[in-house]
Amino acid sequence: MNTPENLITRRLFLSNTSKASIALGLAGTGILSACATDANGDEKAILATSFTQTPLAYEFTALAPNIDAMTMEIHYTKHAAGYAKNLGEAIVEEKVDTNKPLEDVLSKISSYSTKMRNNGGGHYNHELFWKVMSPTGGGKPEGDLAAAIDSSFGSYDAFVTEFETAAKTRFGSGWAWLVLGEDKKLAIGSTPNQDNPLMDISDFKGTPLLGLDVWEHAYYLNYQNRRPDYVSAFWNVLDWNTVSQRFAAASI
């Protein structure tokens, strides 16, 4: 029987199957070969991003009600997929060595085109965004990351306040970030559009541990103009385990 629930399940299955097929089809090319491991070993592999869109680890419905299914579906299959597609064109046009990670391109983004900047940034930012969220997210950080947050910001609550301020006050479209700087200290900041702290043109630099998308397409269907509500809801789906793994890798 074609109930709404069955139709959504079927659509998710077909969508995820299609995405997996595309990834498998690219597995033998340099485009997908980027960074399963790196020269520093498996510990830092979590920080490496390939040039293709990876399948979501959860269904579009999984983060509701904090992020609704329709927003997730449109965001992943239209917006993020568009960045990945355009990035694929840019790396061919600009003869990028895809045996290296996308991070290598971003660190020298001033040497590339605006197309590479917008779509390389958009692809990287979204790939990280999906990974730092989980249906079982929420809670608070633990261990070394929790200690570093307390040391850097005074307390977890102070960290939340500063991060939310960065997200809420980013004018127009952009991202809010928690990064580990070259000085191995945590910092919070934001970037416009699809820029990120890895880019050599960015005023705010560091290794991203987590990023929050504050473009309107990330929240408008459910929250309309209430960006602060969306920002507050993000903590309910934030996967601190992944953030902690990124922190450990970046600290090496």
Residue 37 reports pLDDT greater than 90: no
The reply to whether 189 falls in a domain is yes
| Beta-bridge partners for 187 | 179
pLDDT at residue 83 tops 60? yes
The answer on pLDDT for 122 being more than 70 is yes
Residue 147 lies in a domain: yes
Domain that holds residue 226: 143-250
Given 83, 107, 131, the domain boundary residue is: 131
Specify the number of domains making up the chain: 2
Does one domain contain both 84 and 157?
no
Tell me, yes or no, whether 174 and 205 share the same domain.
Answer: yes
- At 60, the pLDDT band (50, 70, 90 cuts) reads very high
pLDDT category at 93 given cuts 50, 70, 90 is: very high
pLDDT for residue 43: 77
46 domain residue, yes or no: yes
pLDDT confidence of residue 17: 38
Residue 137 domain-assigned (yes or no): no
Residue 138 lies in a domain: no
Exposed, middle or buried by CB within 10 Å (0-12, 13-18, 19+), for 70?
middle
Q: Where a domain ends, among 76, 106, 131?
A: 131
Closest CA to 213 of 130, 119, 109, 91: 130
pTM (predicted TM-score) = 0.85
Position 25 in a domain: yes
- Contact present, 63 and 234 (Cβ < 8 Å): no
Same domain membership, residue 12 and residue 124: yes
Q: What is the CATH number of the domain that holds 106?
A: 1.10.287.990
Residues 95 and 18 occupy one common structural domain: yes
- Of the pLDDT bands very low, low, confident and very high (cuts 50, 70, 90), residue 13 is very low
> Is 218 within 8 Å of 237 (Cβ atoms)?
no
CATH number of the domain to which 204 belongs: 3.55.40.20
pLDDT band per the 50, 70, 90 thresholds, residue 30: very low
Please state, rounded to an integer, the average pLDDT across all residues of the chain: 88
pLDDT at 25 over 90: no
CA atoms within 13 A on the CB side of 18: 8
Segment among 24-38, 93-107, 195-209, 228-242 with least mean pLDDT: 24-38
Alpha helices in the chain (DSSP H): 4-26, 69-74, 81-93, 102-106, 114-131, 143-153, 156-169, 220-223, 227-234, 240-250
Q: Are residues 52 and 150 in the same domain?
A: no
Reduce the DSSP state of residue 175 to 3 states and report it.
strand
